[in-house]
Structure 1
């Protein structure tokens, strides 16, 4: 998406403000593997936690994983139990701290 807004210019100088927003641009990512290893999560539980850390809500996570929202709620309860957390916000912060990887970082093991 791009938006162009004209700005007041002086004399014959034309000025404009151009804002470009790339909805597909992802400046950060959250790797599920550190979460899986740290808390003994299943692959799916780790993916749910990583998506929660990325700011997705339960409906968005369900859509992304092609499952019902109730399935995500079940995974969420398992995540609470395994991480000793009790709120989504608390789990999201924990997951973000453990799973954050700067964009473009190599997360593979050597």
Structure 2
């Protein structure tokens, strides 16, 4: 069994990474962290080998972030996906959707969506 934790470096994603790391440690499971870059055009500062690796990996090119997360979970044999949620207001999520909602609709794997505690 393996856990994949997707991150966008937000407060919600940090909470998800903390929980994924604790769960992986407690259950002695491998944990992979993933950051999808939906628009590789903004990678001009990356060295050429890193830019090639990003372009070849999931989430590069025109793939959506959610599809990139699902592809990475399949590619790496992850059994569970963990990610942050709650970055938008309920109205914003209802109107625009969320990456977490998209991932849940695209994958048959269990998806743990972590909402950080309010300060």
- The answer, yes or no, to whether TM exceeds 0.5 is no
Q: TM-score, normalised by structure 2?
A: 0.26
Larger radius of gyration: 1
Q: TM-score, normalised by structure 1?
A: 0.27
Greater relative contact order (Cα < 8 A, sep 6+): 2
